[in-house]
Amino acid sequence: MEAAAIANLSQLVDDSFAQAMEVLAACKGRIVISGIGKSAIIAQKIVATLNSTGSPAIFLHAADAIHGDLGMVQAEDVVIIISKSGESPEIKVLVPLIRNFGNPIMALVGNTNSYLARNAAYVFNTTVDQEACPNNLAPTTSTTAQMVMGDAIAVCLMRQKGFRMEDFAKLHPGGALGKKLYLRVSDLLHDNEKPQVPETATLKEVIVEMTQKRMGVTAVVNDANHLAGVITDGDLRRMLERNGMEQITASDIMTRHPKVIGPNQLAVNALDLMRQYAITNLAVVEDGQYVGMIHLHDLVKEGLI
C-alpha cells in the first residue's frame, strides 16, 4: 500500500507544486515547517534534509506555537504546515495566526478540501487511499507519502539553487561521508615519507631507500624531479627472478608511466584508481613534479574503506 501511494504521488504534482517551489527558492528567510503528532516527526525529518541541502529551515511544533514558540517565525520566512486531515484543532488555531503575520502558508496535506488546504496559498497534495495499518488508523501510508513529498521539495530546491557536491561537503564535514567529499590527496601526504631515487641509482640504493621509507615502493625521478617511474617490492622480486644484481640501475627495474594523481584531487578518487588497477600505492605529481607517495593504508586509516 505504501509503495502504491508513493507511485501515485507523481500524479499529484501540479501547478501549485511548481508555484510553491518558485516561492521557496526565492525565500530570503527560512522555511518553517510545522505539524502535530506523527506529522510533526515527519516535519523534523524534512527540516533536517533541507538544512543539509542548502535551504535553511526550522521546526515549529503546532501545539507549542500557540504557547510562545510562534516568536520563531520571522518576516521573510515561508511556513509549511503538515497534516493528513488538515482539520486538527491545533492547526485551525495556528493558521490564522500565521496569516496575520503575513507569511506565505503552504499546506502539505492529505485532504485538499480541508480547512488547512482552503486557507493555504499553495498545496502539496499527499492524498492516500488508506493507511497500511490493518485498522486504517495508525499513520503509516500517509506519513510515508509526507516524507517522500518532503524529499521531492528538497531535491527541487537543490536543483533550483544549483547546490553542488562542494556545497554538500561544507555541510557534512563529519564521518566517512564528509571525508569522501572534502579529504584531498594533499591531506594524506604530510604524514608520509617521500621515497625517491634517481634513474642512475644502484640496486642497493633502491633497496635501502625502500627499506628506510617503509612504503613498499619508491619513485624514480630524473634530474628535473619529474617522475620517470616507480619501483615496487614486486618489481624487485621479478627482476631477481630474471637477472643477477650486478650493474642494474633503477631505470632498468622501474615501471614506466605509472598511475599518478594530483595533490588537489579528492582522496576518494585515489581509492577508485587503486581499486581499478589493483595497486596499493599512488605517486602524487603536481605540474610534472613528484611531490610524494600515498598508500592504501592511508585511505584505510581515514575511514574511506
> Per-residue pLDDT tens for 30-54?
999 999 999 999 999 999 999 988 8
What is the average pLDDT value for the chain, to the nearest integer? 88
Q: Is 200 annotated as a binding residue?
A: yes
Residue 196: the pLDDT is 92
CA–CA dist 290, 220 (Å, integer): 9
Residue 173: the pLDDT is 62
Q: Is 218 annotated as a binding residue?
A: no
Residue 87: the pLDDT is 94
Q: What angle do CA 237, 240, 244 make, to 5 degrees?
A: 165
Q: Which three cell numbers stand for residue 139?
A: 499513520
Q: Is 252 annotated as a binding residue?
A: yes
Q: Which of 13-27, 169-183, 244-258 is the least confident region?
A: 169-183
Residue 178, Cβ density class (10 Å: 0-12 exposed, 13-18 middle, ≥19 buried):
middle
Q: What is the pLDDT of residues 137-168, one digit of tens each?
A: 788 899 999 999 999 999 999 999 988 776 66
Q: Is 297 annotated as a binding residue?
A: no
Amino acid type, 235 = D
Q: Which of 1-10, 74-83, 118-127, 183-192 is the least confident region?
A: 183-192
pTM: 0.66
C-alpha distances out from residue 247 to 199, 209, 242, 251, Å: 13, 18, 14, 11
CA–CA dist 247, 44 (Å, integer): 71
Residue 32: the pLDDT is 97
What domains does the chain contain, in order, with CATH numbers?
2-163 (3.40.50.10490), 185-301 (3.10.580.10)
